[in-house]
Amino acid sequence: MGDPGCGFTRRVATLLALSGVALVLAACASLPAKLNPTAPRARALFETFFEEELAQSPEWLSILGRPERSGEWDDYSPAGMDARLALFERQLERLRAEIDPAQLDPDTRLSFDLFVYNRSLALDGRKWREHDYPVNQMFGVHSSLPSFLISTHRVADVADAEAYIARLRGIPQVLEDIGAGLERRAEGEVILPAFLFPKVIRDIENLLAGRPFDADASEDSTLLADFRAKVEALELPDAEARRLLLAAGAALSDAVGPAYQQLRATLMRLQRRADARAGVWKLPEGADYYDYRLRLITGTDLSAEAIHQLGLQEVSRIHEEMRGIMRKVGFEGELRDFFRHLRKGRAYRFDDTEAGRAGYLQMTRQIIDGVTGRLPDWFERLPAAGLEVRPVEAFREASAGKAFYRSPSADGARPGIYYINLSQMDSIPWYGAEALAYHEALPGHHLQITLAQEADLPSFRRYAGQTAYTEGWALYAELLPREGGLYTDPYSDFGRLSMELWRACRLVVDTGLHDQRWSRKRAMDYLRANTPNSAEDITKSVDRYIVMPAQATAYKIGMLEILALREEAREALGDDFDIRKFHALILDGGPMPLPMLRQRVEAHLAARP
């Protein structure tokens, strides 16, 4: 395809520039280049603030690979939420009192601005902290706790195993806080849509299947199987291993099982009060809440209507490129006919068998191996952390998304993990495997997130979350290999376009659901008419957009801005343009809001001789 960095991306850049984003301070203003004592003080404060935040989150400590508080969970009570926001307020007050931003060098000034922006935006969200659905089919606490134990809680010795057991015994308090939060939300008319309750209840039932919850079961439950495997890997004396396994079994039977049964009862009771309205417009002050979510996710003040129209334009553009590939492979008919052909064609899918799932995993690993050798052509710096490809765990695969990524631990002991959901092989045709791997693994999430973690930046920037930046990069990473000569199979290139089309449709569907009051059925009908995706894929995705308002808008908005910046840099530098240096400029500063990213690139271009 031709370079999308054309007049259209200029219009997107203009739209972003005119969106009225009020950043707290200019990120790359003309500042003294020489360091003075203020900069080291600022950097020290940023590390202090990072450690203060970590001290409130045992889970984040474990994610970073640190052993402190490894037997505890975060505080999910209102008091815990209040403590976090109070900490943010104190940190902002101290930063503003102790640091004069005008005395900072440009990069430290950027850190200052990012910190103020992130903390201020979080505090702006105080009003909306119980407008969400903490138990949902995508990332609900009911599934995130066991997933955390399986994928994040490492067991390198007996102390780690005992911390695992302590976390099992801590689950009832977390679920009690979550259940109380669900009741409060219900009193405020915030209840998960009725059609999603069966999915989360099924996840709980799957988790409670097997030993020790069912004494007659022939297999261990998900958590007991995980704990057993981790303890067996320690090669402990038999008596010590038995002691730990008995303690874990008792914790599961006495604490975990009853807590989940209580949560299940709460959900079944709330289900009777739920309705089928899908969008957050139905919530109290729902329109304002959605506006906040759009601002949080995109980093801009783009309106829902502007995003909706942008999506419609992109859908039309991508459809035309798809017609070109359709003609190239010799298919006669309309694009919708080709979509139906791809949905039904068994030749485009692996069998829904263990052999088929193994084949898809093997193909994915080969794709990643193939692109790894090309990375030096595009990047000056490459990740040190390892990468694994894994299937989604069985207990949550029926509800989980198609694919996702979990970042490595700070010490590199736990690799980055690219999870693929293999529960419905019909929903993941092989022609999409290439773009999916580029997005989630390399040169997408794994490269971007790991390079940020390994960069010489303040810790809060290395582990920052800016959705439009992160997802925009991952969608851009699907295109980059195409420009580098990969996607040699036209069907794989069609798969890439299918995924880009999917993200364009998200702009339409997300705003349709939450701003224009579309029904769930209307959203599904739109995707069915405009994409080649399977019915299973469409259902899961619409349900995802329902519980994660605005998140789906990040991908295309972020990608288009990166492409616009690349085009502007190419035009400004001419023959001096170097794709490796451009990518370094985008990646080396870590995640940031799109307007700050633009300021960073424009400041770099303005500073050249």
Same domain? 70 vs 209? no
Instruction: Give pLDDT tens digits for 96-121.
Output: 999 999 999 999 999 999 999 999 99
- CA 379 → CA 372, 448, 597, distances in Å? 11, 11, 18
Q: Give the pLDDT score at 376.
A: 98
Residue 508 and residue 363 share a domain = yes
What pairs with residue 299 in β-bridges?
none
Q: In angstroms, rounded to a whole number, what is the distance separating the alpha carbons of residues 106 and 181?
A: 43
Residue 12 CA to its chain's centroid (Å): 23
- Beta carbons of 133 and 140 less than 8 angstroms apart: yes
Token readout for 204 is 């709980």
pLDDT of amino acid 608: 81
The pLDDT, as a whole number, for residue 382 is 97
* 200 falls within a domain: yes
Identify whether 522 is part of a domain: yes
pLDDT at 203 over 50: yes
End-of-domain residue from the set 66, 101, 131: 131
Angle in degrees, 0-180, between the axes of helices 433-440 and 467-483, rounded to the nearest 10: 130
Query: What number is the average pLDDT over the span 552-569?
Result: 98
Give the residue-averaged pLDDT of 122-133: 96
Is 294 inside any structural domain? no
Q: What is the mean pLDDT of the chain?
A: 92
pTM: 0.90
Q: In percent, how much of the chain has pLDDT > 90?
A: 88
Residues 400, 541: Cα–Cα separation, whole Å: 10
> Do 314 and 171 reside in the same domain of the chain?
no
Q: How far apart (Å, rounded) are the C-alpha atoms in residues 511 and 552?
A: 9
Residue 3 lies inside a defined structural domain of this protein: no
The answer to whether residue 532 sits within a structural domain is yes
Of 68, 100, 131, which residue sits at a domain end?
Answer: 131
CA 198 to centroid of chain Cα atoms? 24
Domain final position from 131, 161, 186: 131
Q: pLDDT class for 178, splitting at 50, 70, 90?
A: very high
**What is the pLDDT at residue 5?**
36
**Same domain flag for 390 and 538:** yes
Q: 501 is written with which tokens?
A: 């089309």
Mean pLDDT of 499-508: 98
Task: For 135-171, write each residue's pLDDT tens digit.
Answer: 999 989 999 999 999 999 999 999 999 999 999 999 9
Which percentage of the chain shows pLDDT scores above 70?
94
Please tell me whether residues 80 and 206 are part of one structural domain.
no
The answer to whether position 592 is within a domain reads no
Report whether pLDDT(21) > 50.
no
Distance CA 442, CA 157 (A): 32
Question: Does residue 580 fall inside a structural domain?
Answer: no
Q: What is the CA radius of gyration of the chain?
A: 24
Instruction: State the pLDDT confidence band at 36, using cuts at 50, 70 and 90.
Output: low
- Are 384 and 487 found together in one domain? yes
Q: For position 43, what pLDDT does the model report?
A: 96
Rounded-to-integer distance, Cα 81 and Cα 125, Å: 12
Overall domain count for the chain = 3
Look up tokens 């996840």; give the residue. 203
Q: pLDDT category, 187, cuts 50, 70, 90?
A: very high
pLDDT digits (tens, 9 = 90+) for 341-352: 999 899 999 999
pLDDT (tens digit, 9 = 90+) per residue, 48-102? 999 999 999 999 999 998 999 999 999 999 999 999 999 999 999 999 999 999 9
Residue 503 and residue 399 share a domain: yes
Mean pLDDT in residue range 494-515: 98
| Domain shared by 45 and 159, yes or no | no
The whole-angstrom distance between residue 392's C-alpha and the CA centroid of its chain comes to 15
pLDDT of 13 strictly over 90 = no
Mean pLDDT for the stretch of residues 283-290? 98
| 341 & 479 share domain | yes
pLDDT at 410: 80
User: What's the average model confidence in pLDDT over 193-204?
Assistant: 96
Whether 454 and 515 share a structural domain: yes
Q: Answer yes or no: do 463 and 547 share one domain.
A: yes
Say which residue, 60 or 33, is predicted with more confidence.
60
402 confidence band (pLDDT: 50, 70, 90): confident
Judge if 303 and 267 occupy the same domain. Answer: no
Question: Can you give the residue range of the structural domain that contains 111?
Answer: 38-131
- Residue of 327, 180, 161, 317 lying closest to 244 (CA atoms): 161
User: Residue 413: what pLDDT?
Assistant: 83
Residue 293 placed within a domain: no
Compute the distance between CA of residue 141 and CA of residue 470 in angstroms, rounded to an integer: 23
